[in-house]
Amino acid sequence: MYFYESSVSESQMHMALRCESGLVTEKSTAYSSDGDVLSPENIWPGSITTSGIAPAKRISASGDVAMVSKGLLSHTGRRQLSAELRAVDPVSLLRLRQIVHADAADGQTDAANGQSDATDNQNDDS
């Protein structure tokens, strides 16, 4: 029963992480079989934290599974669960990449213009 509970909790944790990543990127929504919108807290009772900046955020989850001794178990079983994923919005990531490359290209053009201006000034002095 303890291993079954561990497997179920781990599965729920991964579903909650996927649900949270959909909320963070605003690209997907999780629904229950009744058609209600699910939140990660409704799927899994552990803690979920989000860190980082858009378009790539880190989502972490942690919690534990405990099995109180019953029947054959002589000790309390406990297992720490943790997982992490990156929620990436590919469209925003591509736009950011294009902006960075455009700024880098402008910087190179400005540097090239500065070199040609310096060469022109040397030629004028001669």
Q: Is the pTM of this model over 0.75?
A: no
pLDDT given at position 105? 72
Domain count across the chain: 2
Mean pLDDT of each 10-residue bin along the chain, 126 residues long? 82 92 85 90 90 85 76 67 86 82 69 53 52
pLDDT given at position 104? 73
pLDDT given at position 114? 55
5 plus 60 within the same structural domain: yes
- Which residues in 54-97 belong to E strands, given as ranges? 56-67, 77-88
pLDDT given at position 125? 53
* Structural domain harbouring 67: 1-88
Predicted confidence (pLDDT) per residue in 78-102, tens digit:
778 889 988 887 777 788 888 888 7
Inter-residue contact 30 to 42 (CB < 8 Å): no
Give the pairing type, strands 47-53 and 56-67. Answer: antiparallel
DSSP state at residue 36: P
8 plus 57 within the same structural domain: yes
Inter-residue contact 44 to 12 (CB < 8 Å): yes
The span from the CA of 31 to the CA of 117, in Å, is 62
pLDDT given at position 111? 55
75 plus 42 within the same structural domain: yes
The span from the CA of 38 to the CA of 117, in Å, is 62
20 plus 46 within the same structural domain: yes
